[in-house]
Amino acid sequence: MTVEPGFAGQAFMPDMLDKIRKIRRLNSKIDLQADGGINPKNAKSVLDAGANLLVAGSAIFGEKDFKKAVENLRFPGNYPA
């Protein structure tokens, strides 16, 4: 979890990136999922840290255009700043 478990819409906790890196170093073959506060602005950092699965609720369902919201997560960096 990259937020405190409990409710949707929480902010991503950047200190979780170190934990993701540590887990990835321990095992490079597992699927490593990050869940909580994932959005287009932090998705690339989470992927670069070693996660290969992202769970995004509010970043998708909080937007009017679901397709565009998913595209923004699939291609981090290809969204307006």
The per-residue pLDDT for 9 is: 83
Spans of all domains in the chain: 16-74
pTM: 0.84
Confidence of residue 77 (pLDDT cuts 50, 70, 90): low
Tell me which residue has tokens 């409990």: 6
Report yes or no: 74 and 66 within 8 Å, Cβ to Cβ.
Answer: no
Q: Model confidence over 4-19: pLDDT tens digits?
A: 888 888 899 999 999 9
Q: Quote the CA–CA distance of 10 and 37 in Å, as a whole number.
A: 6
- State whether residue 53 is helix, strand or coil: strand
Confidence of residue 81 (pLDDT cuts 50, 70, 90): very low
